């Protein structure tokens, strides 16, 4: 550890809230109603992951810390269409899970403003299982 990070560690404010002990994951649900190529999907999921990470750093720092410490596990699942993604978002919000919607700028492949990805978490795995348990892996 460098001197500055050592100093930072002992002077930084204590994190808010309880430490989590269960493993966390992030789930990205991809809108399969759009015909996106593999590279396009990868970039959209990347958007969702970065946005969700930044959001959790502000709103749920303990989740972020636990998720990073346990190897930032991510899973990609199939969603039927935009309505399906929005329905899942509603469920997740009701369960207190952080949600992030990705809308495409429409430079390539699909119309501008399409809802491409719903990112959930980082959140305790069991909580996410209840919301996305029946969805298929992409």
Partner 1 sequence: MAMVSTVDEPSMVFIARHDLKMSAGKLAVQCSHAAVSCTLNARKTHARLVERWRNAGARKICLRADDLATLQRLAGQAQVAGLVTYLVKDAGHTEVPPGTVTVLGIGPAPRRAIDALVSELKPY
Q: Which residues are near partner 1 by CB under 8 A? A: 28, 30, 37-51, 53-54, 68, 71-72, 74-77, 105, 137-138
CB of 94 to partner 1, least distance (A): 25
Cα–Cα distance measured from residue 129 to residue 124, given in angstroms and rounded to the nearest whole number? 9
- Identity of the residue, 90 or 107, whose beta carbon is nearer to partner 1 in the bound complex: 107
- Identity of the residue, 62 or 138, whose beta carbon is nearer to partner 1 in the bound complex: 138
CB of 70 to partner 1, least distance (A): 11
- With CA atoms as reference, report the closest residue to 62 among 92, 21, 28: 21
CB of 107 to partner 1, least distance (A): 9
CB 135 within 8 A of CB 78: yes
- Identity of the residue, 90 or 108, whose beta carbon is nearer to partner 1 in the bound complex: 108
Helices (H), the chain: 3-11, 38-59, 61-69, 82-94, 125-132
């Amino acid at each position: 550890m460098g001197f500055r990070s050592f100093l930072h560690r002992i002077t930084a404010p204590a994190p808010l809230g309880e430490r989590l002990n269960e493993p966390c994951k992030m789930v990205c649900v991809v809108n399969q109603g759009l015909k996106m190529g593999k590279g396009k999907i990868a970039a959209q999921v990347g958007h969702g992951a970065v946005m969700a990470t930044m959001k959790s750093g502000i709103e749920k720092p303990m989740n972020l810390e636990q998720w990073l410490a346990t190897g930032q596990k991510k899973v990609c699942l199939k969603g039927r269409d935009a309505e399906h993604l929005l329905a899942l978002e509603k469920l997740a919000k009701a369960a207190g899970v952080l949600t992030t919607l990705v809308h495409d700028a429409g430079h390539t492949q699909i119309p501008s403003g399409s809802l491409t990805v719903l990112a959930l978490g980082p959140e305790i795995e069991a909580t996410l299982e209840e919301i996305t348990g029946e969805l298929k892996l992409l």
